[in-house]
């Protein structure tokens, strides 16, 4: 399997522009996670999908951030409008959920998208 695929790997944009990050989870996995990694705050969970349904979006910073999962093989994280403080590495991860929402299932991470907002 190719693993979790993210695109683009690098994104440089100007403040105020819309940014869309994409993720393809591992085939057969039914849980998908979006994380953000910054020097100041470390790794933070932004949103969690199970069977394409958002289960927990409490980590989404504000309304400028939105995430969708239209089908089992694709998810997007959108920032509109983007701001310099959104600069970070964004990771997507997927797992095969056992169905009980417990943390025993291994999460497989993609290579990340490094976002720079000027």
Partner 1 sequence: AQSVTQLDSQVPVFEEAPVELRCNYSSSVSVYLFWYVQYPNQGLQLLLKYLSGSTLVKGINGFEAEFNKSQTSFHLRKPSVHISDTAEYFCAVTKDSSYKLIFGSGTRLLVRP
Binding residues for partner 1 (CB under 8 A): 4, 31, 33, 42-43, 45, 48, 56, 91, 93, 95, 97, 101-112
Which tokens sit at 25?
């989870």
What minimum distance in Å lies between the beta carbon of 19 and partner 1?
Answer: 19
- Judged by beta carbon, residue 65 or residue 110, the one nearer partner 1 is 110
- Judged by beta carbon, residue 5 or residue 81, the one nearer partner 1 is 5
**CA 44 – CA 7 distance, rounded (Å):** 19
In angstroms, what is the C-alpha Rg of the chain? Answer: 14
**CA 99 – CA 102 distance, rounded (Å):** 8
- Judged by beta carbon, residue 79 or residue 110, the one nearer partner 1 is 110
What minimum distance in Å lies between the beta carbon of 96 and partner 1?
Answer: 12
Q: Kind of pairing, strands 53-56 and 65-71? A: unpaired
What minimum distance in Å lies between the beta carbon of 71 and partner 1?
Answer: 21
User: Can you name the residues that pair with 109 across neighbouring β-strands?
Assistant: 93
Q: Kind of pairing, strands 108-109 and 10-13? A: unpaired
What minimum distance in Å lies between the beta carbon of 44 and partner 1?
Answer: 8
């Amino acid at each position: 399997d190719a693993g979790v695929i993210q695109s683009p790997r690098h994104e440089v944009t100007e403040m105020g522009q819309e940014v869309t990050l994409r993720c393809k989870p591992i085939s057969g996995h039914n849980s998908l996670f979006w994380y953000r990694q910054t020097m100041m705050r470390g790794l933070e969970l932004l949103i969690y999908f199970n069977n394409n349904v958002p289960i927990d979006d409490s980590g989404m910073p504000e309304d400028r951030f939105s995430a969708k999962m239209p089908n089992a093989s694709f998810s997007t994280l959108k920032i509109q409008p983007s701001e310099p403080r959104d600069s970070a590495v964004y990771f997507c991860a997927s797992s095969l959920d056992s169905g009980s929402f417990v943390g025993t299932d291994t999460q497989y991470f993609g290579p990340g998208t490094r976002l720079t907002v000027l």
